[in-house]
Amino acid sequence: MAPHGGQRPRLREVIAQTCALVAPRQCPCGQEGTWLCAHCATLLEAAPRRVESSCDALQVLAAARVHKEHHAGLTLPAGVDHRSLLPVLALGEYGGNLQRMVLAWKNGGMLHLGARIAPALAPAVAQLAAAADVPVPGLVPVPSRRSVRLRRGEDHTAELVRAIERTGTGQALLLRARPTTAQDGQGARQRRARRIHLAGGRARAAGRRSQPVIIVDDVVTTGATLRGMHDALSTAGMQVLGAVVVAAARLPPSPSGPDAAA
């Protein structure tokens, strides 16, 4: 006989406690008895935050002035102005328990965390899609090297994209892509020039119809990988709406003072 509705939670807990005798439940922060504690779960409830201004490799030249210039009553000093190549939304800064969660998911064998991270990124996907008036964008994961996928046992960003697709905010677009330059041991200039190669009929078809897409990754540092993905997708003919990541190595300063409300 099937258990009644009120008995199911107790039955699930009995099963979980029994399994914990073999594989103890532990949150990435170290708290035992749960796969994700209440405090760490709140990290996934944060509102998406724009972080592209803190990614050096995503900045492109907007204007340069040799001398001071006056425009519309404003004095612009001599210097260089930059704008960001694409919007990037993150849940928080890559540090503390959020960093532990990402590392446990990527490298610590806690693959089940992807099912908790995906719904947390869905609002960021929806925000970028709404800004471009696109109902269901394509979701393109940043590729990993084959050696990394074999070591981890899965392509974690591809699995994340599939999980986000199940929320209904986007459609997984798994392209044949590979990074052609590694970042280890490189200087800042070389990291800015990271290249990613796309191949296969799926990428050509998406390019022919100028499909709007959103890039999905785990962590953004300088933004070199996102820039490489943006360049590869744009060159293929796709329309890049932006990128969503779990965490950013640096967050831009919060607005403060009299200009904050504006």
Q: Please check whether residue 123 lies inside any domain of the structure.
A: yes
| pLDDT for position 262 | 33
Q: Is residue 22 part of a domain?
A: no
Domain CATH code at residue 113: 3.40.50
Q: Which of 82, 53, 113 is nearest to 248 (CA)?
A: 53
Is the distance from CB of 216 to CB of 121 less than 8 angstroms? yes
In a domain, 215, yes or no: yes
AA identity, residue 83:
R
- What is the distance between the alpha carbons of residues 187 and 122, in angstroms, rounded to a whole number? 34
In a domain, 30, yes or no: no
Residue 173 lies in a domain: yes
pLDDT in tens, 184-199: 444 544 455 678 989 8
Residue 129 in domain: yes
Domain count, the chain: 1
Give the SS3 label for residue 105: helix
3-state helix, strand, coil in the chain (%, to 5): 40, 25, 40
Residue 90 lies in a domain: yes
Q: What is the pTM of this model?
A: 0.80
Weakest mean pLDDT among 54-63, 98-107, 194-203: 54-63
**pLDDT for res 174:** 94
Task: Kindly report, residue by residue over 129-175, the tens digit of the pLDDT.
Answer: 999 999 999 999 998 776 665 566 678 899 999 999 999 999 999 99
Taken in order 46, 155, 179, 176, the sign of the CA dihedral is negative
For residues 48 and 164, is the Cβ–Cβ distance under 8 A? no
Domain that holds residue 167: 40-58+85-248
pLDDT on residue 17: 52
